Amino acid sequence: MTDIALARQHALGDLPRRTAQRSPDKLAIVDGDTRLTFRDLEAHVDRTAAAIAAAGLTPGDRLALLSHNCWQFAVLNFAAARVGVVLVPINFMLGADEIAFILDHSGAKAFVAEDALVPVADAALAAAEHPQVGTRMAIPLAGGVPDGWTDIAAWLDHDGAAPGVLVADDDPVRMMFTSGTESRPKGALLSSRALLWQYVSCTVDGGMAADDVELHTLPLYHCAQLDCFLGVDVYLGATSIILPAPDPATILRTIAAEGVTKFFAPPTVWIGLLRHPDFAATDLSSLRKGYYGASPMPVEVLKELQHRLPDVRFWNFYGQTEMAPLATILGPDEQMPYAGSAGRAALNVETRIVDDQDRPVPAGEVGEIVHRSPHATLGYYGQDDKTADAFRGGWFHSGDLGYITESGHLYVVDRKKDMIKTGGENVASREVEEAIYTHPDVAEVAVFGVSHPRWIEAVAAVVVPKPGAELTSDAVLAHARSVLAGYKAPKYVVIAEGLPKNPSGKILKRQLREEHADLSQGDVTDRA
C-alpha cells in the first residue's frame, strides 16, 4: 500500500519538482540580483529538504520561520513540506512575547530567522516557557550571521537528496496563526489537500496561467500572498518577482522594469499607487491582471482604477486563513455590475448564510457566512473546543456577516466585531465607509465604534484627505449626513495623515478604537 500511496502522492512539496520537469529553464523567482530558474529552485528545495531531515526533524515536527519576503522563504516553504515538516510562518511585526507564545504553542523544534530579526528571535526564545528549539538558522539578508545561529546557506547547499517521505493528503504541512480578535492567536493547520484544491480554485476562477509574471509585495507569512499567488505560480510555472515590502515607488518601478503582468494588493496599497506622484508617468502597459482582497475595495476607488488602468482586469478574492484562504471570487466582468460584492463561491467551495441557530436564511437576509470546502483547515492546533465550535453543523463558520442575493453573489456586511450597535440600531462600518469615499477629497477612511454615555456605541470615522485637499471634519460630517440615515452618519470625524495598517495592508481598527476611545468623553448630547 505504501508504494501505491507514494505513486499517487500529490503534496505541496512535490510542486517544484514537477514544474522543473516541465519547464526547467524558465525563470521561476527574481529577488534583487538573484534569478532562479525552476531547475535552480528545485535543486535548492531538494537540498534544503535533505538538510531539514538531516537536522533531525521528522514528519509532523514544526519549523518556525521569521523573515521578510525573500527567495529563501519560498524555498523553505516547499522544502519543509517535502519531508512532512510543518512550517510555522511568523508575522515579523510581532514582539518577543507574542513570538514566544507561538514557539511554545506550536512546539517548534527549529527556528529560521532573518538576521535583522535575530534579536527579537533571541528575546522570544528567552521568554518562551517551554522552548523546544534545537536548531537555529539565520537568513543573512543584511550580510551577517549572528552568534548562536547558523547560516541558512548550510541548508540551501546541503550535499544530499531529500529522503522519500510519504506525505498524505491530510497530513498538516503548515500552521498559520490567525491575527484574530482574541487575546491569543490560533494555529490553523493546513494540509496539502487544502492548499492544492485552493490552488485549483485560484487558477480556474482567478484566470491564472503559466505565462504570468507576478509581483509579490505583501508578506509571505500571510497565506493570501503565499498561497493564492506564490504557491499557484510555482504550481503553474509562472514567474514570481519578490519584493520585501509594498513600497509604492518600488512597485511602480518594478512593474515597468520586469514587465509584470499580474499584481495582488489590498485596497490600501492600490490607493497608495493611485496617489503616488510617479503613477501617471510610469509605463504600466505590461500589467493585465489586478487582484484585491483583505478588505473590500471602495466603489469609488474601483472606478478610478478601471479608468486609469483600462487594460487591467480585476478580481476580488475573499476568504480567511482557515480557508487556505480563498472562499469566493468576484470576476472581471462583474466588478461594476456587482460593485461591493465578494463574488460567488469559488470552484471548490460551497457558501451559505445562517442565523444564530445555524439555520440557513433566505436570499437577501443577513447572517453569518459559512463554508464547506476541501480548502478548509484541519482545525486549530491544540484547541479542540474552538475547532468544534468553528465547524459546528458540518460548516466552517467564518465570523463574518453577510447576505447572498438570488444570483448567488455574496455581500460581506461586516465582521461581527466591526458591527456598530448605536442606540439599539445596527450600523455596518463598511456602509458608512463607502458613503464617505464618495466625497471627492477623501483618500482613505476607517469607520469604527467608540463607547458613548448615551448611545452605548457611537459611529466614528478617521479620514485621510487626498494630497493637497483641504478637508475638514465638518465637511465630512455634512457629506455623510447628506447620503446616510441620521443614525448611520458618524458622530465624530477625525482628520489624519494616515491610518495604521499591518504588513498585509489591513487597517488596524482595534488600534484606532484604542487611540480614539475618549472621543465621546463628557458628551451626553444627541449629536445625530
Number of other CB atoms surrounding residue 421 within 10 Å: 12
Q: What is the pLDDT of residue 1?
A: 56
3-state secondary structure of 142: coil
- Name the grid cell of 343: 463574488
pLDDT score of 123 more than 90: yes
Torsion of CA 500, 248, 313, 441, to 10 degrees: 60
Q: What is the pLDDT of residue 143?
A: 85
Q: What is the pLDDT of residue 424?
A: 62
Strand (E) or helix (H) holding 64: strand 62-66
CA distance 258 to 241: 8
pLDDT score of 524 more than 50: no
Number of other CB atoms surrounding residue 222 within 10 Å: 22
Torsion of CA 272, 274, 280, 282, to 10 degrees: 50
Q: What is the pLDDT of residue 528?
A: 44
- The runs of H, that is alpha helices, within 209-276 are 223, 231-236, 248-258, 267-275
CA distance 505 to 291: 14
pLDDT score of 415 more than 50: yes
What confidence category does residue 45 fall into, taking pLDDT thresholds of 50, 70 and 90?
very high
Distances (CA, A) of 383 to 106, 187, 444: 11, 9, 37
pLDDT score of 150 more than 60: yes
Q: Specify the DSSP class assigned to residue 509.
A: H
DSSP structure string for 104-140:
HHHT-SEEEEEGGGHHHHHHHHHH-SS----EEEEE-
| 502 CB-near residues (< 8 Å, 6+ apart) | 91, 93, 179, 508
CA distance 125 to 104: 9
Q: Which of 112-116, 178-182, 193-197, 423-427 has the lowest mean pLDDT?
A: 178-182
Distances (CA, A) of 94 to 177, 189, 225: 12, 20, 19
CA nearest 211: which of 284, 262, 264?
A: 262
Residues 221-248: tens digit of each pLDDT:
999 999 999 999 999 999 999 999 999 9
Where does 435-517 show beta strands of DSSP type E?
442-452, 456-465, 492-495
Residue pointed to by grid coordinates 498585509: 504
Q: What is the pLDDT of residue 10?
A: 96
What confidence category does residue 523 fall into, taking pLDDT thresholds of 50, 70 and 90?
low
Residues in the chain: 528
Q: Specify the DSSP class assigned to residue 502.
A: -
| 311 CB-near residues (< 8 Å, 6+ apart) | 285, 287, 288
pLDDT score of 85 more than 90: yes
- Angle, helices 71-82/38-54, rounded to nearest 10 degrees: 60
Q: What is the mean pLDDT of the chain?
A: 93
3-state secondary structure of 100: helix
Beta strands across the sheet bearing 326-330:
34-37, 27-31, 239-242, 213-216, 262-264, 289-292, 313-319, 326-330, 344-345
Residues 477-488: tens digit of each pLDDT:
999 999 887 888
Q: What is the pLDDT of residue 431?
A: 81
- Name the grid cell of 346: 469559488
Q: Which domains does the chain have, with CATH numbers?
A: 2-14+38-168 (3.40.50.980), 194-415 (3.40.50.12780), 423-515 (3.30.300.30)
Residues 320-350: tens digit of each pLDDT:
999 999 999 999 999 999 988 999 999 999 9
Residue pointed to by grid coordinates 489591513: 506
- Name the grid cell of 456: 452605548
Report yes or no: 13 and 49 within 8 Å, Cβ to Cβ: yes
Beta strands across the sheet bearing 172-177:
150-151, 135-139, 110-114, 62-66, 86-90, 172-177, 187-191, 379-380
Report yes or no: 275 and 302 within 8 Å, Cβ to Cβ: no
- Residue 525: burial class (beta carbons within 10 Å; 0-12, 13-18, 19+): exposed
Predicted TM-score of the model (pTM):
0.84
- Angle, helices 299-308/429-437, rounded to nearest 10 degrees: 40
| 456 CB-near residues (< 8 Å, 6+ apart) | 421, 422, 423
Strands 34-37 and 379-380, sheet pairing: unpaired
Number of other CB atoms surrounding residue 94 within 10 Å: 19
Mean per-residue pLDDT, 97-112: 95
Q: How far apart are the first and last CA of the chain?
A: 70
